[in-house]
Chains A and B, each alone.
Chain A
Amino acid sequence: MEALKEELKNKIITTLNLEDITLEDIHDNDPLFGDGLGLDSIDALELIVILDKDYGIKLVDPKEGKTIFQSIETMAAYIQANRTK
């Protein structure tokens, strides 16, 4: 689980071009959107693609995203439970 979290943080930093953010800046329970990392709706699309492309998870209901993408912790837990690759 810890390895997955670190992997996710790396993917987020690279894919979303978070140039000034390091792994240490992203805490497992910090909100990804809004006050936390400050991601926006375009980033949400990038995260959905990461789930699909890297973990074989297709989000059928977009509303699910709100819960899944709350933090690194929730995202990692969802991936671990649902990944197909």
Chain B
Amino acid sequence: MKKTYINGVGCISTQKTFDTVFLEEAVYNQKDTVFTLVKPEYKEYVSPAASRRMAKGVKNGIVASALAMKDSNTEKVDAIITGTGMGCIEDSDRFLKNILDNNEEFLTPTSFIQSTHNTVGAQIALLMQCKGYNFTYVNGVVSFESALLDAKLQIEEEEASSILVGGIDENTDYTMSLYKLAGFVKNDQETPFDVLKETSTGVVYGEGASFFVLENERKESTYAQILDVEIINSLEENEVETEILAFLKTNNLQISDIDAVVLGFNGDAHFDSYYKNLARNTFAQTPQLYYKHLSGEFNTASAFGLWIASKVIQTQEIPNIIKVNSVEKPAYNTILLYNQYKGKNHSFTLLSK
């Protein structure tokens, strides 16, 4: 059975995560309830003629995937697998609004073409001329982990030797206005936000695209090996520790073997207790990291978390801005990521150097 290595990463996010090393320019925005993306120079990656029919999620996906390919020094992959919770929602909004505004008449193809969830994977494949397996997972907050798990299984089973995997989501004014009405987004009046100390419900939203080149061999560019990925739909707070112990045991590891744990704190007081319990008890002696105060919450924010974990293993450094506690380890070789949203869709990802 082949092993799976992260050999290249690319990230476009609400932080300057391109043309930088590792969050040296990161800013903790505690005022806004919705973060917007730091845009790269799209023209360097896609021609204006092609980009005019691309939603922003598509453009971000193309840039992030190009960065990952360049980082891994790879020109071709055998497969492209993406995860997205909401797809190209901006064009979905536009298409649906057109239907309503025009009484179901005069529908044009452009917004429809751009609005499908698999547009990102398809456009990347077209640009790379990759005619292999191309799949998009739309599974809420485990969309990215579903893609990652598929890729890992394909590499292990030798169905593919190199796979481009990514998580992409974009936010829009209309969707955010609905989320605000539904109470998913924090109240603007409650600033400044502090993800680790929040007592209110709702979260600060974000968007982004993170891509990874996974291959079946270690290279000079290797960040980490993906040891395991697990997805569980429902877990009670008191079941998480047992689940983690069992997950680690399957990989012949225990809590003390974990050099850092990346937790998906998002500032929702109702559900961050899942993480707080772990932080106070199970991982009290382990360096703890968080990232959604930088990326915002969105369905594939955990891909940003994987980008963080990969960078920590590569650089062997943890920037202060992502530290939850002050515990340190001499080396960061084994990292566990845990994420959930509203107590559902739990994912565990295990990396080792």
Contact = CB atoms under 8 A, between A and B. Distances in A.
Interface of A: 15-20, 38, 42, 45-46, 49, 52-53
A35 to B, nearest CB: 13
15 contacts: A16-B110, A17-B53, A18-B52, A19-B51, A20-B48, A42-B53, A42-B110, A42-B113, A45-B109, A46-B110, A49-B107, A49-B108, A52-B106, A53-B105, A53-B106
Contacts of A53: 102, 105-106
A18 B110 CA distance: 13
Contacts of B102: 53
A74 B109 CA distance: 24
B227 to A, nearest CB: 44
Interface residues on B, range: 10 to 19
B106 A17 contact: no
A20 B106 CA distance: 26
Contact of B52 (A16, A45, A49, A52): A16
B219 to A, nearest CB: 38
Interface string B24-51: 0000000000000000000000001101
A42 B109 contact: yes
Interface in B46-67: 48-49, 51-53
A19 to B, nearest CB: 6
A17 B109 CA distance: 13
Contact of B110 (A17, A19, A20, A38): A17
Contacts of B110: 16-17, 42, 46
A38 B113 contact: no
Contacts of B49: 38
A52 B108 CA distance: 12
A17 B105 CA distance: 21
A19 B109 contact: no
Nearest to A15: B108
A18 B53 CA distance: 9
A20 B110 CA distance: 18
A37 to B, nearest CB: 10
B106 A19 contact: no
Given A19-B52, A42-B53, 9 more contacts: A16-B52, A18-B52, A42-B109, A42-B110, A45-B109, A46-B109, A49-B106, A49-B107, A52-B106
A38 B110 CA distance: 16
| CB-CB nearest 5 A-B residue pairs | A17-B52, A53-B106, A20-B48, A49-B108, A46-B108
A46 B108 CA distance: 6
Contacts of B107: 49
A16 B53 CA distance: 8
B330 to A, nearest CB: 51
A42 to B, nearest CB: 6
B115 to A, nearest CB: 14
